[in-house]
Structure 1
Amino acid sequence: MAAIADGSTTAAGSNAEGKLLRFALKQDAIGSGANGLVFLAVAAIFGSMFGLPAAFLVPVGAFLVAFAATLLYLAGRPVVNRAAVIAVMVVNVAWVLASAEMLIAGWFPLAGLGAAFVIAQAAVVAGFTGLQFAGLRKA
């Protein structure tokens, strides 16, 4: 049985209910971790391809690797903490909003490929957040 902890209360659900939430957290971890590792490994190359400075991509990459590790930890716990999942969703929403702001405000001189990448990854993060929300509601 999957269990969700809400501070002082624990709600147990069926395996199918907990599976969606754990799946969403793990998929978010895979995507975040992969992006983070690529940003760290080839920041200069990505920077020139996308129009993003390496000095921006390296700390973002480090954050994404740490975020991915946190997501894997949460997904692997016998009891998934509801407040922690909500915090993950808040971070994801902030990521999507910051991505939109980056495009609208023109923070960086993005190449066409860079703008497409920012839009695509924001859409994927929004999708992960939707899955996490659905999984949280079911659990």
Structure 2
Amino acid sequence: MTTTITFDSGPGLRTALRVDGWSTGVFGVFLLATAPLLREPLGLPPAWSVPFGVGMLGGAAALLLIAGHPRLPSRLVAAVVAVNALSAVIMVELAVLDLIPLTNRGRAFMLAGAAFVAAFAVLEFAGLRRGQAAS
């Protein structure tokens, strides 16, 4: 039997989750809508940008569902933090390991995305810690 600890997060964590969810969704739509156009300036093949975009739409839906809970389940918030942190690490690796034929602009784009995702991981981790300490 497992239990899920829930807590009242206050507006900060919930807002971070919602902004993370909406920005992830918007960026997923951007990747899907511009997939063929990103190949030349960024070196991002549609075979990569389309699955990234679809994954981001799924992630956005999950984030918005989690943010909608009246009392946030700490395990789900911890999972969000872990996924964001892992995503940031993977994006850095993709930028520096030449797994994708990125241009210099593409590398900068990927590193900027990693910084953006890492910032959400930090904000959500801080909100999780505050919420758990208050419960």
Q: Same fold (TM over 0.5)?
A: yes
Q: Distance in 2 between matches of 1:108 and 1:50?
A: 10
Residue 121 of structure 2 is aligned to residue 129 of structure 1: yes
Q: Distance in 2 between matches of 1:20 and 1:81?
A: 15
Q: Tell me, which stretches of 5 or more residues in structure 2 are unaligned?
A: none
Relative to its length, the structure with more strand (as a share) is 1
Conserved? CA contact 2:87–2:114, under 8 Å: yes
Residue 86 of structure 2 is aligned to residue 90 of structure 1: no
**Cα distance change on mapping 1:42 and 1:102 into 2, 3 Å:** same
Instruction: List 4+ stretches of structure 1 deviating above 4 A.
Output: none
Conserved? CA contact 1:7–1:83, under 8 Å: no
TM-score, normalised relative to structure 2: 0.89
2:95 to 95, 103, 111: 103
Aligned to 1:63: 55
Q: Distance in 1 between matches of 2:121 and 2:73?
A: 16
Conserved? CA contact 1:52–1:108, under 8 Å: yes
2:3 to 1, 7, 15: 7
Deviations 1:71-126 (A, max 9, x none): 11111111211101111111111111111111221112211211111011100100
Q: Distance in 2 between matches of 1:10 and 1:34?
A: 28
TM-score, normalised relative to structure 1: 0.87
Q: Distance in 1 between matches of 2:34 and 2:4?
A: 44
Conserved? CA contact 2:44–2:102, under 8 Å: yes
Q: Distance in 2 between matches of 1:68 and 1:9?
A: 23
Query: SS of the residue aligned with 1:25?
Result: helix
2:12 to 20, 41, 65: 20
What is the aligned residue count?
130
Q: Tell me, which stretches of 5 or more residues in structure 1 are unaligned?
A: 1-5
**Cα distance change on mapping 1:91 and 1:19 into 2, 3 Å:** same
